[in-house]
Amino acid sequence: MDIRYFAWLRERIGTGHETVETRAETVADLIEDLKALSDAHAFAFSDTNAIRAAVDQELVPFDASIAGAKEVAFFPPMTGG
Amino acid sequence: MSVDVSDRAFDPGAVLSAFSQRVDGSGAIVTFTGITRDVSEGDLQAMEIEHYPGMTEKALGDIRAQAMDRFRLIDAVIIHRYGRLSPGETIMMVATAAPHRRDAFEAADFLMDYLKSRAPFWKREITARGADWVAAKDEDEDALNRW
């Protein structure tokens, strides 16, 4: 599964893109898997209130299913406009 | 060109002229233009805008479609830049056209509220002290409850 990171999440993890093997069923499960990858991941995901997720480019809550998803992205709350 | 995401500068006046011609016969056009301002201590050197290519275009298209659905509009455009911008540069613009002014005003306001917290852009301020990500405000999220 393709994982994308943006803004300070990308900086803390040290990459904007990685591919992971996961059996996670939801976004929340996937976050637990990602936190186990490295100290940088654990630090980046330490405050999940400050993080938003998109599954296949659609903003979703953390209990959303990732079954069949190609791409999951994590980022801080957006600051457009 | 109903949604345009680009790293290039644009001329809001030229956008308005082209839009006015396209919606010839509409009774009201409202535009909003966002400009890079110094939001910290008066020493902003640049604003860097990161975005999520693909999702950005999709999110802006969805937001525009919602506005078209919700208000009596003839047309609407959204333009948003990414990349490095100097203070005073135009970041983004929305234009709405409707038979009546209230729909045009409200739709522009709606577009801006949704752009703020539902379009995948992240701003970073560059100052003499370094680079800082701009934090989202609770009031931006609260603003969505108005609609």
Nearest to B144 by CA among B107, B118, B108: B118
- Whether B122 and A78 lie within 8 Å, measured CB to CB: yes
The confidence score (pLDDT) of residue B37 equals: 82
Own/partner long-range contacts of B38-45 (Cβ < 8 Å, ≥24 apart): B38/B87, B39/B125, B39/B134, B40/B125, B40/B127, B40/B132, B41/B127, B43/B127, B43/B128, B43/B129, B44/B87, B44/B125, B44/B126, B44/B127, B45/B86, B45/B87, B45/B126, B45/B127, B45/B128
The confidence score (pLDDT) of residue B41 equals: 65
Residue ranges in chain A modelled with pLDDT below 70:
none
The confidence score (pLDDT) of residue B1 equals: 67
Helix (H) or strand (E) holding B109: helix B101-118
The confidence score (pLDDT) of residue A52 equals: 97
Residues from chain A that touch B119, judged by Cβ atoms under 8 A, are 78, 80-81
Work out the minimum CA distance from A57 to partner chain B, whole angstroms: 5
Tens digits of per-residue pLDDT, A10-19?
Answer: 999 999 999 9
Query: Chain-wide mean pLDDT for chain A?
Result: 97
Q: Is B142 exposed, middle or buried (0-12, 13-18, 19+ CB in 10 A)?
A: exposed
Residue ranges in chain B modelled with pLDDT below 70:
1, 38-41
- Whether A7 and B122 lie within 8 Å, measured CB to CB: yes
The confidence score (pLDDT) of residue B138 equals: 86
The confidence score (pLDDT) of residue B142 equals: 87
The confidence score (pLDDT) of residue B39 equals: 62
The complex scores an ipTM of 0.95
Which residue does chain A place closest to B135, by CA atoms?
A79
CB of B144 within 8 Å of any CB in chain A?
A: no
